[in-house]
Amino acid sequence: MAVIEGGNIITGNQIEGTARRPYAITGVPGGTTLVGTVAVGDFVQNVATGHLYEYTEPADEPTFTRIDTV
Residue 64 included in any domain: yes
Residue 68 included in any domain: yes
Residue 56 included in any domain: yes
Residue 34 included in any domain: yes
Taking CA 30 as the corner, what is the angle to CA 55 and CA 41, rounded to the nearest 5 degrees? Answer: 5
Residue 54 included in any domain: yes
Task: Give the best-scoring range by mean pLDDT among 4-8, 46-50, 66-70.
Answer: 46-50
Per cent of the chain over pLDDT 90 is 30
Q: Which helix (H) or strand (E) holds 9?
A: strand 8-11
Render pLDDT for 6-33 as a digit per residue (tens, 0 to 9): 555 566 665 555 556 789 999 999 888 8
Residue 67 included in any domain: yes
Domain count of the fold of the chain:
1
What is the pLDDT, as a whole number, of residue 21?
75
For strands 23-25 and 43-46, give the pairing. parallel
Residue 16 included in any domain: no
What is the pLDDT, as a whole number, of residue 45?
93
Question: Pick from 41, 44, 49, 48: which is nearest to 33 by CA?
Answer: 44
Q: Is the pTM of this model over 0.85?
A: no
Q: Which residues constitute the domain of residue 47? A: 21-70
